[in-house]
Amino acid sequence: MKSVRRRYLALEIDSDELFDSKELMDVVWGAVLKLYGEYGASRAGLTLIDYDMEKRFAVIRTVHTTVDMVRTALTSITKIGNKPVAIHVLRVSGTIRSLYKKVNK
């Protein structure tokens, strides 16, 4: 069986408010679903790996074929609840270790 090539995305949550991890992932799933439907969302294999609420920093995992799709969906997010927010992709990497290396540079 072909192994799945994963990609890790470091995210910056740009907002004055704080959100918990569930709120964050709900809005990410919602954006993917809205733009690409259930079929697209099922291909993305989205998982939250790390989330630092205070630093407004998150790491999510997806499949390498859907990185662009996830990036587009993240770009389309403008609100969590009724609070304005922008989610920026800081870095994309194939391993968690190299992702943190790149982010901390």
Partner 1 sequence: MKRICADLHLRPNSKDPEHVSQIISKASRLGYRLIALTFPSNLAEEEIRRLVDVSKEAKIDLASRVDLEPRTPRELIHGLRKFRRRFEIIAVVCESKNVARQAAKDRRVDLLNFPSLDFRSRFFDKAEAELASNGLASLEIDMKPLLTLEGPARIRLLSNLRREVAIAKKSHVPIVISSGVSDRVLMRKPKELSALASLFDLNEASAIEAISKNPVAIVKRNRDKLSSRFVAPGIRIVRRGNDC
Binding mask 16-35 for partner 1 (x = CB under 8 A): ------------------xx
Strand ranges, E, within 1-105? 6-14, 47-52, 57-63, 79-80, 83-84, 86-93
Q: Of these, 71, 91, 100, 103, which contacts partner 1 (CB under 8 A)?
A: 71
- Applying the rule CB under 8 A, the residues between 51 and 70 that interact with partner 1 are 68
Minimum CB distance to partner 1 smaller for 84 or for 97: 84
Binding of residue 75 to partner 1 (CB under 8 A): yes
Minimum distance from residue 1 beta carbon to partner 1 (Å): 30
Burial 87-100 (b: 16+ CB within 10 A, else e): beeebbbeeeeebb
Give the footprint of partner 1 on this chain (CB under 8 A). 14-15, 34-35, 68, 71-72, 74-76, 78, 84-86, 88-89
